[in-house]
């Protein structure tokens, strides 16, 4: 490996080692520096090896356990062992080809045992297997394997598209689930709000009716005590007619219509007061099981 330099002296550079021969036979290793050679004794500098770290990129095509063809880009960093530089000089004619052959052999033995997903997750295991094999073999040839990096894993283009589509479909499905949950929460909260509003509205109506009943009872009692000779029915009719007129007044103020037609007259007022009174009396008597006279007495009490 290298040409023989038949010179009187030679210089070996830093991070290099020289191989010295005598009459074509290995004599010794020459460290960095200036060296003199005795040509009369057959001593000469056979060659110089660099001990710097070298890098070799290897691209391997193989297939996985699930029959997906992939390309792996592997980067091997190696260097010559100074103490065994003679082995590196004499044993291997082309160390790059030797390293590449062993990388191909190991990768194509390990990768077919893995699925594509496992290969992406365990690419360090592949690099470790390659490193162990190369260290065992290349160490005998005077080379040390420093690092092995699995730089890239490239599946077939159609497989990459399929993987991207699967990923996109999964994300859309997850987004749909979150969207449905959000809509469900909105519907539930809206229903709870409506139920709470109806409940509070019912409580308000009940309190309003209770206040009206208490007010009517108090008005009837006060009017009966202050105006002698009046009956509970007459006082009730007077209060109902007053509320009727108040309702018409509120309707005229709050309605957005410019004209509201309401049948009105003394007879209508009498009929309306009678209907309202009878309805209230019948409802109250039905709940309490009382007659109209009993109801009047209760109102006065």
pLDDT digits (tens, 9 = 90+) for 181-191: 888 888 888 88
Burial grade of 90 (CB within 10 A; 0-12, 13-18, 19 or more): middle
pLDDT of residue 132: 87
Report yes or no: 82 and 17 within 8 Å, Cβ to Cβ: yes
pTM of the model: 0.51
Query: What is the average pLDDT score of the chain?
Result: 77
pLDDT of residue 208: 74
Coil/strand/helix, residue 13: coil
pLDDT in tens, 163-217: 777 777 877 888 888 888 888 888 888 888 888 888 888 888 778 767 776 776 7
pLDDT in tens, 239-273: 666 766 667 776 666 656 556 555 555 555 556 65
pLDDT of residue 288: 57
pLDDT of residue 263: 59
pLDDT of residue 2: 47
Q: In the predicted model, is pLDDT for residue 154 greater than 60?
A: yes
Separation of alpha carbons 180 and 172, rounded Å: 12
pLDDT of residue 301: 47
The larger pLDDT score, comparing residue 264 to residue 130, is at 130
Q: Between the CA atoms of 259, 262, 265 and 267, what dihedral angle is there, to the nearest 10 degrees?
A: 180
Percentage of the chain lying above the pLDDT 70 cut: 68
Separation of alpha carbons 209 and 212, rounded Å: 5
pLDDT of residue 299: 45
pLDDT of residue 137: 86
Residue 47's beta-bridge partner residues?
19
Q: In the predicted model, is pLDDT for residue 231 greater than 70?
A: no
Q: In the predicted model, is pLDDT for residue 279 greater than 50?
A: yes
Q: Where do we find the tokens 């699925």?
A: 115
Coil/strand/helix, residue 51: coil
The radius of gyration of the chain's CA atoms, rounded to the nearest angstrom, is: 53
pLDDT band for position 282 (50/70/90)? low
Burial grade of 103 (CB within 10 A; 0-12, 13-18, 19 or more): buried
């Amino acid at each position: 490996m290298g040409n023989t330099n038949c010179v009187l002296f030679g210089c070996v550079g830093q991070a290099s080692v020289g191989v010295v021969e005598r009459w074509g036979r290995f004599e010794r290793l020459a460290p960095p520096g200036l060296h003199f050679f005795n040509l009369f004794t057959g001593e000469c500098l056979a060659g110089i090896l660099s001990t710097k770290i070298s890098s070799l990129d290897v691209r391997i095509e193989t297939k996985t356990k699930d029959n997906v063809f992939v390309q792996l880009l592997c980067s091997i960093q190696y260097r010559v062992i100074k103490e065994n530089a003679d082995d590196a000089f004499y044993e291997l004619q082309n160390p790059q080809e030797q390293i590449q052959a062993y990388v191909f052999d190991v990768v194509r033995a390990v990768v077919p045992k893995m699925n594509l997903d496992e290969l992406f997750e365990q690419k360090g295991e592949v690099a470790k297997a390659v490193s162990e094999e190369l260290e065992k073999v290349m160490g005998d040839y005077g080379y040390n394997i420093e690092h092995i990096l699995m730089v890239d894993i490239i599946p077939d283009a159609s497989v990459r598209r399929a993987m991207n589509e699967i990923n996109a479909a999964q994300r859309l499905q997850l987004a749909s689930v979150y969207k449905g949950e959000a809509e469900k929460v909105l519907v539930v909260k809206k229903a709870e709000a409506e139920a709470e509003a109806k409940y509070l509205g019912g409580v308000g109506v009940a309190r309003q009716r209770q206040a009206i009943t208490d007010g009517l009872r108090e008005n009837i009692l006060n009017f009966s005590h202050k105006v002698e000779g009046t009956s509970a029915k007459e006082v009730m009719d007077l209060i109902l007619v007053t509320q009727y007129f108040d309702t018409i007044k509120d309707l005229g103020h709050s309605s957005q219509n410019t004209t509201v037609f309401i049948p009105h007259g003394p007879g209508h007022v009498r009929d309306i007061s009678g209907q309202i009174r009878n309805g209230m009396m019948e409802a109250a008597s039905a709940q309490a099981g009382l007659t109209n006279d009993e109801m009047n007495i209760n109102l006065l009490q």
